[in-house]
Amino acid sequence: MKISELARRSGMAASRIRFYEASGLISARRLSNGYRDYSEQTLHTLEIINCGQQAGFTLDEMLKLMPDASQGEGNHAPLIESLRRKVVEIEAMQQRLAQNRAKLLEIISGIENKPGSIDCEENAQRIMAGLREQS
């Protein structure tokens, strides 16, 4: 299929598809007129790349994990290991995000519940001092 059809079917810009090709993530056969000819498998590969990126994989990581079609079935152990590492990274990120959320909620509460006897500058200093004590 031509790049315009692949772009339409995948929902990706043709420039993005060409970038993936230049990066070695996908390949196309060149027709005699110079046009790229993509296989149906390329559409599936683009879906895998998109899912991988949404899961937090870089393009370099995706390149290392993509199965080599010329090698048949391949070894899934590196893929599974990489997926498990990504799960650990996501869990660590979730923990950091939860901590950041808690701090932000504490700051909001400190601003909303400012003692009436102090001005905003003093309140900001009070809130920051409380945060420093927790660190």
Question: Is the pLDDT assigned to residue 135 strictly greater than 80?
Answer: no
Q: In this structure, are 28 and 46 located in the same domain?
A: yes
Model pTM above 0.75: no
Q: In this structure, are 5 and 60 located in the same domain?
A: yes
Q: Which of 53, 73, 93 represents a domain boundary (last residue)?
A: 73
Q: In this structure, are 63 and 6 located in the same domain?
A: yes
- Distance of CA 59 to CAs 25, 53, 84, 86, 113, Å? 8, 7, 17, 14, 46
Mean of the pLDDT values across residues 11-19? 95
Q: In this structure, are 13 and 64 located in the same domain?
A: yes
Q: In this structure, are 89 and 25 located in the same domain?
A: no
The larger pLDDT score, comparing residue 74 to residue 53, is at: 53
Most confident by average pLDDT, 55-64, 76-85, 94-103, 107-116: 94-103
pLDDT of the residue at 73: 60
Number of domains in the chain: 2
Each residue's pLDDT tens digit, 23-55: 999 999 999 999 999 999 999 999 999 999 998
